[in-house]
Amino acid sequence: MKNIIAAVVLVFTVAFSTNAQNEMSKKDVKTIALEQTPGEFTKKQLTVTPGTYVFEIANKGVGHDVGFVLVKKGEDISKPENHIQTAYVTEVVATGKTQLSKPTVLEAGEYVYFCPMNPTATDNIILVQ
């Protein structure tokens, strides 16, 4: 009987601990919201602190699907292997819609973001300091 009670307590403890860690992890993830209009992002530069971010990309009247690409500044943006793939939106963003990326860790440095589907300039900067 003691073993059954101990097992039940252990299951509840593990479940509570896992849930608390998941909630804590969600709080540690911040959102960077960016809007695309025809041919450009409305924000050209932003500064954030190092951490984990989800990119929320909104398509504001572009008229066709858009996406999102993030690359460490100085890397060749034309090479997909240099793209930070977790920053890609999980689905293309239709006109009037918003999509999210996966959580992406940003370390100190500069990053370039753009959309080859829009297409936008490649001089949009995220400064992480």
Number of C-beta neighbours around residue 107 at 10 A: 9
pLDDT reported for residue 17: 46
Mean pLDDT of the chain: 87
Sheet holding 109-114, edge to edge: 45-48, 124-128, 109-114, 69-72
Task: Give residue 1's pLDDT band: very low, low, confident or very high (50, 70, 90).
Answer: low
Task: Give residue 62's pLDDT band: very low, low, confident or very high (50, 70, 90).
Answer: very high
Nearest to 68 by CA among 52, 97, 47, 91: 91
Task: Judge contact between 87 and 57, C-beta under 8 A.
Answer: no
Task: Judge contact between 56 and 90, C-beta under 8 A.
Answer: no
